[in-house]
Each structure stands twice: as C-alpha cells, then as structure tokens.
Structure 1
Amino acid sequence: MTIAAKSRISAPVLLRPLIAEALGTGLLVATVVGSGVMAQNLAPGQVLLQLLCNALATVAVLGLLIALFASVSGAHFNPAVTLAAAVTGACRWPTAAGYLVAQFVGGCLGTVLAHAMFGQTLVQWTGQTRGGAGQLLGEVVATAGLLLVITLLVRDRRAHLVPVAVPAWIFAGYFFTSSTSFANPAVTVGRALTGSFAGIAPASVPAFVLAQLAGAAVGVGVAHLVRGWSTESQ
C-alpha cells in the first residue's frame, strides 16, 4: 500500500475521535442550556423545579453520550478529564490538544443550538454572576470527585461503570455543591454564552475554570495515593 493510500485511510479514522468529542460536548451543553430554558418556561420562579429539570436532563444525556462514544474517543467531553489523562500518560498530548479544541468548539456550538431550538438570540452575555470562596470551593470538590470516580474506575478496569457512575456524581453535585457542579471547563465556557437559568457571566468563567483545574489535580492526586497511576494510552 502506498503512503498516499495510507493517508487517505487514516485521515478519516483520526478525525472520528475529534468529531465524537465535539458532538458529545455539544449535545451535553445543548442539553444543559436547553433544559434550563425549558425549565424557566415550565416553572417560572420555581428554582427547585428548575434545578431538578436541569439536573435530570443533564445526567440522562451524559450517561447516554458516554455509552455511545466511549469506544470512539473515550468520551471525555471535558478538558479537565483530557488534561488529567494526558498528564498521567493515558492520552497522548497531540491527541489531547485536538480533544481540547473539539470540546470547546462543540460546547459553544451546543449553546447556539439550544438557543436556535427555542427561537432565542443565538449568543447571549447575560448569565448569572457566580463566584465567591464557597462556590469556587464547590467547583473544586465537584471536579475532584468527578476525576476521582473516573480515574479509579478506569484504573480498576471497571470502565463499564463510568456511564452510570459519572452521571450519578454529577446529579449529586447539582444538589450538594454550592456551584451546582459545572465540573467542566468546556461546559462552563458554553454556558457563558447563555442568559438562561443555566448561564454564567463571562467574568465569572476564569475563576471557575481555575477551580475546576485545581479540582482535577486533587482528584487525580487522591486516586494516585490510593491506587497508583494509570498509564494506558489511547
């Protein structure tokens, strides 16, 4: 087989994980934002019902997306997960770089899609101001727990439980963390483009992302203490 023929075959194969990461992250953000808009329409002023609607839709689609795309890209859908995988050697840095771009682009397009479905302005800059020591600590805890769950399950060769365990953690985080468990830089950036119930003010994003990265480091560090590093590359 010639080099040119090999390139024609390999190029689509290499693109598939990037498409999966962009599509998965985009659909996840579309669900978060879209369910937030729907919750506001169905239960105006009822914050508990809005949060419950948002949480149930999010965890349902998250588990489904992980199950669908795990065999294609590993179903990261989260820059914190991708960076942790790269640092521990479970993902090559060139692959990680492609994933990060796909995730952020997909997340932003997911918000645009949600707004389009509801006939709203496609990009909005009026999200809720979020921050303060308590909420940032909540993001550290939410992201640390997420990375701990993923790392330990993969390390113990129980990755088949991830589609159930990750949504379970995120659902709990919606209600026990002060930040409602964003736990995902790409989702955070996507949510900065909406003024809906699920939105976050752009000015609040940098601190949230830093808290998430710190939480990812904590989660991987704790996993390392109790189980050791996972070094399976993808």
Structure 2
Amino acid sequence: MTAPLRRRALGELVGTAALVAVVVGSGIQATELTDDVALQLLANSLATVFGLGVLITLLGPLSGAHFNPAVTLAAWWTGRRGEDGPDLRDVAAYVAAQVAGGVSGTILANAMFGEPLARLSTHDRSAGHLWLGEVVATAGLVLLALGLARTGQQRLGPLVVASYIGAAYWFTSSTSFANPAVTIARSFSDSFAGIAPASVPPFVASQFLGAAVGVFLLAALFGRLPAPKDRARVSTGEHELTATGR
C-alpha cells in the first residue's frame, strides 16, 4: 500500500460506506418485496456477497479493502514487528474512516428508500448464542483475510472473502455482522438489517474477541512472521529457512 494515507483512508471511508449501503439498502428492499424472512435473508446475503466482491476488487489495491476495524487491528498486530502492516497512525485513520463511512452508508441507504435519515433500530440482538456467532464469524474472517496474504493468495480475496461472508450469513446465528464499524452503522437503521443500540456493545466486544481468536489461529497454522532481519535470511535459501524455524 504505497498511496498517501489520506487517499487510503478515503478509500476505506468510501468502501465502508458503500458496503453498509448495500447491506442496509438490500435489507430495506427485501422487506418491501416479501414477508418471507428466509427470502429476505437470501436477498440481503446475495447483495452483500456481490457488493463486497466488487468493492474489494476496486479498492483492495489502494487501501487493502479492510472496511473493518477488527481486520485493521489484526493486520497491525500481526505486522507490528515488520514493515508490511499498518502502523498506529494508519490504524487511527482507518478506524475513524471506517466508522464514519459506515454511518454515512446507513444514512445514504435510508435516504434512497425514503426512510428517516437516522432512526435508531429496535431490532434486539442480545443473546449469548448470537455473541458466540459473532466470535466465530469474525475469527474466520480475520483468519481468512490474513491467511490469504500469508500464503500469497491475495488475488483470490474478492472471491474468497465475499464467499465466506455469504456463507457466514447462513451458518452463524448472528447472520455474521463480523465488523464493529458496520455494527455501529446498522444501529441507525430500523430495518431488517438493523441492530438495537443496546445490542451493539456486546456484539462489538464479541467481534474483537473473534479477531483475537483469528490472529491466534493464524499464528498456530502458519507460524509467526519472522523479524525483518530474519526475513532477509529466509529469502537466501532453504537452509536459512530451516534455521529460522519458518
């Protein structure tokens, strides 16, 4: 990521806003078209899959297409010993942009469907099994996003990450918010996609716990990144690769 921070942060703001507009807008549209909850969830999940894939393809080369504070913090933590990941200045700019973008996306979606621009949700999601669903969903997302980078398969990100989110809509009890910025933003929409403000803190806490689990699994499966001085040794040949234990 070589673009100036202001452009990368703008990419995160625009990308998160667009993602939330897709999630909330498709949720509103679905409820206007059918009363069948299964069809509503199907429409919402398909729109999210397609929208997320497009946004990652477009903005990934600019900012990394995190659109998610949990992913940003996980990327900082795993890359903090080297020169690859974001630094704390990047993290602060990204997280602020993601939250602002998410709320903007909700306002945009509400405006497009003639809803109040910001109406607090009444959709209560306070239950232990939902929090567990968020831990699982976020752990899988972080493991996948960082694991693709660790194994040199970033080019598959748009397809694989979007596919995972689409699947997690259905296999997790919480329908996979898996994103603190999106969770906060969705509290401003009293629609199918909304979440009551009182339900937001435990959801966000569960997501950060899930991110920590994802980072732990990343290290357990792929090993820790070597320090910068050791990376040069790793690249010199198989003997050095073995010597560093990587």
For each residue in 1:146-183, what CA deviation from the matched residue of structure 2 results, as whole angstroms up to 9, or x when unmatched?
Answer: 01111111000111111111111111111110000000
Distance 2:224 2:145 in 1: 12
Amino acid at match of 2:38: L
The alpha-carbon deviation at position 87 of structure 1 amounts to 1.0
Distance 1:174 1:135 in 2: 12
The 1:232–1:23 alpha-carbon spacing in structure 2 relative to 1, beyond 3 Å, is farther
Distance 2:227 2:40 in 1: 40
Equivalent residue of 1:88, what SS? helix
2:28 matches 1:40: no
Counterpart of 2:40 in structure 1 is 50
Aligned pairs for 1:97-136 (under 5 A) are 97-136=92-131
Root-mean-square deviation (Å): 1.6
Runs ≥4 in structure 1, deviation > 6 angstroms?
none
The alpha-carbon deviation at position 131 of structure 1 amounts to 2.0
Counterpart of 2:241 in structure 1 is none
For each residue in 1:172-205, what CA deviation from the matched residue of structure 2 results, as whole angstroms up to 9, or x when unmatched?
Answer: 1111100000000000001000000000000000
> 1:129–1:204: 8 Å Cα contact kept in structure 2?
yes
Structure 2 residue runs without a partner (length 5+): 80-84, 229-246
Aligned counterpart for 2:175 among listed residues 171, 177, 180: 180
For each residue in 1:44-83, what CA deviation from the matched residue of structure 2 results, as whole angstroms up to 9, or x when unmatched?
Answer: x210000000000011010110010111101000000001
Equivalent residue of 2:194, what SS? coil
Query: What count of residue pairs does the alignment treat as equivalent?
Result: 222
The 1:232–1:57 alpha-carbon spacing in structure 2 relative to 1, beyond 3 Å, is farther
Structure-2-length-normalised TM-score: 0.87
Amino acid at match of 1:67: T
Distance 1:25 1:228 in 2: 30
The alpha-carbon deviation at position 14 of structure 1 amounts to 2.9
Amino acid at match of 1:185: P
Structure 1 residue runs without a partner (length 5+): 1-9
2:195 matches 1:200: yes
Equivalent residue of 1:121, what SS? coil
Distance 1:76 1:152 in 2: 14
Distance 1:231 1:171 in 2: 33
Distance 1:67 1:85 in 2: 19
Counterpart of 2:9 in structure 1 is 18
Counterpart of 1:140 in structure 2 is 135
Counterpart of 2:236 in structure 1 is none
Amino acid at match of 1:40: T
Distance 2:159 2:179 in 1: 18
The 1:232–1:123 alpha-carbon spacing in structure 2 relative to 1, beyond 3 Å, is farther
Counterpart of 2:211 in structure 1 is 216
> 2:18–2:105: 8 Å Cα contact kept in structure 1?
yes
Percent identity between matched residues is: 52
The 1:231–1:100 alpha-carbon spacing in structure 2 relative to 1, beyond 3 Å, is farther
The alpha-carbon deviation at position 230 of structure 1 amounts to 4.5
> 1:131–1:204: 8 Å Cα contact kept in structure 2?
yes
Distance 2:86 2:43 in 1: 34
> 1:91–1:232: 8 Å Cα contact kept in structure 2?
no
> 2:138–2:210: 8 Å Cα contact kept in structure 1?
yes
> 2:5–2:90: 8 Å Cα contact kept in structure 1?
no
Counterpart of 2:90 in structure 1 is 95
Distance 2:96 2:48 in 1: 22
Equivalent residue of 1:181, what SS? coil
2:162 matches 1:171: no
* Bigger Rg over Cα: 2
